Amino acid sequence: MATEKTIVIHQLCDKRFLAENEAGDRSVIDGNDPAAGLRPMEMLLAALGSCTAYDVVDIMKKKRTPLAFYRVEVTGRRAEKHPKRYTHIHVVHVGGGEGVTEKQFAHAVRLSHEKFCGASASLNAEITWEVRLEQPAGN
């Protein structure tokens, strides 16, 4: 059975908006200059990055090799002409932890991007990814 979600966007002023989900959770989206929040296209990158991050953390926990630290860096290249969509998005997964191997980490990332991440599957852009296994600062 398909799941349907609704987000309501409230205009706060000019090009500043408040996005609210059915549970009442909120995020500011801002197109003003200077901005007081992420811009709409930045939110798109954030949605992709957090979607895949959620999957990777969950997969690594299930493998009993949780990540001690983790970050996702998402870079998007946009078309020059309107609608100026993202044509290419590159996602870098950086993390590590005790017992975490690059092979395990890369497998979790691959599963996320190829099977589980709905945000990734919803975008009409070439999405590439890479994994960087690192040790936390001080080790």
What is the per-residue pLDDT across 100-133, written as a single tens digit (0 to 9) for each? 999 999 999 999 999 999 999 999 999 999 999 9
In a domain, residue 80? The reply is yes
- Quote the number of domains for the chain: 2
Domain that holds residue 113: 40-133
| Region of 40 on the Ramachandran plot (φ > 0 left; ψ -120 to 50 alpha; else beta) | alpha
Q: Are 96 and 117 members of one domain? A: yes
In a domain, residue 5? The reply is yes
The predicted model scores a pTM of 0.92
Q: Are 78 and 107 members of one domain? A: yes
In a domain, residue 33? The reply is yes
Range 77-83 average pLDDT: 97
**What's the pLDDT score for residue 22?**
96
The 10s digit of each residue's pLDDT in 90-102 is: 999 999 999 999 9
**What's the pLDDT score for residue 139?**
58
In a domain, residue 68? The reply is yes
pLDDT class for 138, splitting at 50, 70, 90?
low
In a domain, residue 127? The reply is yes
Say if residues 48 and 109 touch (Cβ distance below 8 Å).
no
Q: Are 32 and 90 members of one domain? A: no
The 10s digit of each residue's pLDDT in 22-65 is: 999 999 999 999 999 999 999 999 999 999 999 999 999 999 99
Strand 26-30 and strand 16-21: the pairing is antiparallel
In a domain, residue 139? The reply is no
Q: Are 51 and 33 members of one domain? A: no
In a domain, residue 138? The reply is no
In a domain, residue 23? The reply is yes
**What's the pLDDT score for residue 1?**
74
Rounded CA gap, 94 and 81, in Å? 32
Q: For residue 137, is pLDDT > 90? A: no
Structural Rg of the chain based on CA atoms: 17
* Domain CATH for 128: 3.30.300.20
